[in-house]
Amino acid sequence: QKEVEQNSGPLSVPEGAIASLNCTYSDRGSQSFFWYRQYSGKSPELIMSIYSNGDKEDGRFTAQLNKASQYVSLLIRDSQPSDSATYLCAVYRGSTLGRLYFGRGTQLTVWP
């Protein structure tokens, strides 16, 4: 079983819609959760971090964490064509010498 799994995609939504990206993780002891955006040919860019159960909002982005279900999601409201990218879910497991585990990413396309 992979540490971090994401819905395979690709996900295609019209401009202005809500894009919903999902991620599950295998280790119940995981402590920190991150979403990275990666444009084609570019490196991952951190867009959200979440550490406790519930929702965290930042502009058009909302991260949701449910530790009991081992589930993390990212909602993008009012999606724009510039949001078209691969979104990587990352989960930190371990203490001070822990490690960040990445999913394979979900490719999102927002069409005008």
The site for other proteins (CB under 8 A) is made up of 4, 31-32, 34, 36, 42-46, 49, 51, 88, 90, 92, 94-105
In whole angstroms, the minimum distance from the beta carbon of 44 to other proteins comes to 5
Nearer to other proteins, 76 or 88 (CB): 88
**Closest CB 101 distance from other proteins, rounded Å:** 8
Q: Report the alpha-carbon distance of residue 23 to residue 28 in Å, rounded.
A: 14
Q: Which is nearer to other proteins, 61 or 102 (CB)?
A: 102
Question: Per the structure block, which two tokens stand in for 90?
Answer: 């990352």
Contact 6, 86 (CB under 8 A): no
Helices (H), the chain: none
Nearer to other proteins among residue 88 and residue 110 (C-beta) = 88
CB of 32 to other proteins, least distance (A): 5
β partners of residue 54: 65
